[in-house]
Chain A
């Protein structure tokens, strides 16, 4: 499984990748997480690549993407690496409805920021996207995913955010 989270710096695409990686690890998979860094991040572009598998994982960088989470419109350029029949989750707060997307891909359009605001957690648009992705693709069991999400923030000493983050996750989960 190869997932790319892409967006502006500040949209939490690195964290989204990390959270997904932790979920995959909890699920007993081998995992790699790879951030775009340095020159590739110029102009505020950011992405992270998560790969997981039962066996050995190849290179950590983008090769053949299964799921592209596009938090903004420029991120659609990575569709060039998307497998035929691959899924794009487009954050409609930053990706316009008429943005050109090849019909060979599946698309789910959800307003991640709007839903995050609805959950009183405007910084968690990335977690909304994760919720939508997990539901749409059945990646991990809901309870397991939520438990990992909780644990990540407990480990960071940010326990007070766990309920807000779970609310954001559920907004995404229920939106598809």
Chain B
């Protein structure tokens, strides 16, 4: 039965359904409800919750536990997630799985608690030192958050790579009806994990590491791109938006279609790997592509421009609507589109 759930509580419960046995985290708004919920829910289920002394300690607790094969996760927001980057780089360096949740808040430094997508570039580019990528899911509803979380541990273990759920302040704070999948548990031994016997851990030593990373990236890019296209097949203009802005964008598409304007929407569900395949559906006659995002100066637009360069013939202009500290409103998107169509608004790429 569908019941109203707060995004942060739902993501936490979904992790339980997915078999998460251990959580470590440190409070930070607007993700604290994840910790608060798990602090009582995990003991109820006979699992371990730990309030860590800081973000780094939390991620290394996960690092140690997942090295031993225990499904583990941590969560944070903005500046707290920055602190975790050292540990995320270590997870990737060692090919350890992990599940990470970033409920984004706006801005660099302390920033504000406003809903935003300003961590996009950091989180899709690795974020710490060295070359690595984290598989990043960007849900746009609470049900989708639950569904993606349900598979996150499986995907992390399959590729021996961290998987992140990139949420947003408003998505964490809002409520929607949700239906949860049943509890599942992975019981089989992953084969490589630490068990005290010093068995092989599948460790890749130099100079093989660069080749191994290239192979991993190629496999993930080939298999894991996920997206949703909406009315793209005959579109003259295509919006690209993920997370909450994709919802107002979809409304804008409907409104513009009612006016007889052919527009569509590409919604990346994985933002790394970026869904280049979604752009295959764009007709060759497309006149422009518009990135709609809750950033200040444009982040998603860089991936959009690369995808357009690769997938669209000619030199299709790429525009950007950057709404800063809020979700762009439907009418703002429609108004922005008016500027694009009239030529008043100039392309970014």
Residues of A at the B interface (CB closer than 8 Å) are 18, 21-22, 25, 30-35, 37-39, 56-61, 63-64
Contact = CB atoms under 8 A, between A and B. Distances in A.
Given A21-B4, A39-B114, A56-B247, 4 more contacts: A25-B3, A34-B173, A38-B169, A61-B326
A59 B30 contact: no
Interface in B206-251: 244-245, 247-248, 250-251
Contacts of A64: 330-331
B113 interface: yes
20 contacts: A18-B4, A18-B175, A25-B3, A25-B4, A30-B176, A30-B177, A31-B175, A34-B170, A34-B173, A37-B173, A38-B169, A39-B113, A56-B250, A58-B250, A59-B329, A60-B174, A60-B244, A60-B247, A60-B327, A64-B331
B29 interface: yes
A32 B3 CA distance: 11
B246 to A, nearest CB: 9
Interface of B: 2-4, 29-30, 112-115, 169-170, 173-177, 244-245, 247-248, 250-251, 326-331
Given A57-B247, A63-B330, A33 B4 contact: yes
Contacts of B250: 56, 58
A37 to B, nearest CB: 5
A107 B289 CA distance: 43
5 A-B pairs with least C-beta separation: A38-B113, A58-B251, A33-B175, A59-B248, A34-B174
Chain B binding surface SS class: mixed
Contacts of A32: 174-176
Nearest to A155: B3
B133 to A, nearest CB: 29
Nearest to A58: B251
Nearest to A25: B177
A120 to B, nearest CB: 29
Contacts, number: 75
Contacts of B175: 18, 21, 31-34
**A interface: dominant SS:** mixed
Most chain A CB within a 10 A radius of its CB, from B169, B174, B245:
B174
Q: Which of B169, B170, B175, B331 has the most CB of A within 10 A?
A: B175
A52 to B, nearest CB: 10
A31 B114 CA distance: 22
Contacts of A31: 4, 175-177
A63 B112 contact: no
Contacts of A21: 4, 175
A16 to B, nearest CB: 13
A37 B328 CA distance: 18
A119 to B, nearest CB: 26
Give the residue among A38, A58, A63 with the most B Cβ atoms within 10 A: A58
Contacts of B177: 25, 30-31
A35 B174 contact: yes
A57 B170 CA distance: 14
A133 B4 CA distance: 21
A21 B247 CA distance: 19
Between A31, A37, A38, A59, the greatest number of chain B beta carbons within 10 A of the residue's beta carbon is seen for A59
A41 B173 CA distance: 13
A61 B327 contact: yes
Nearest to A81: B329
A58 B4 contact: no
A22 B327 CA distance: 24
A64 B334 CA distance: 14
B249 to A, nearest CB: 8
Given A25-B2, A38-B29, A64-B331, A58 B248 contact: yes
Contacts of B115: 61
A58 B173 contact: no
Contacts of B173: 34-35, 37
A32 B327 CA distance: 15
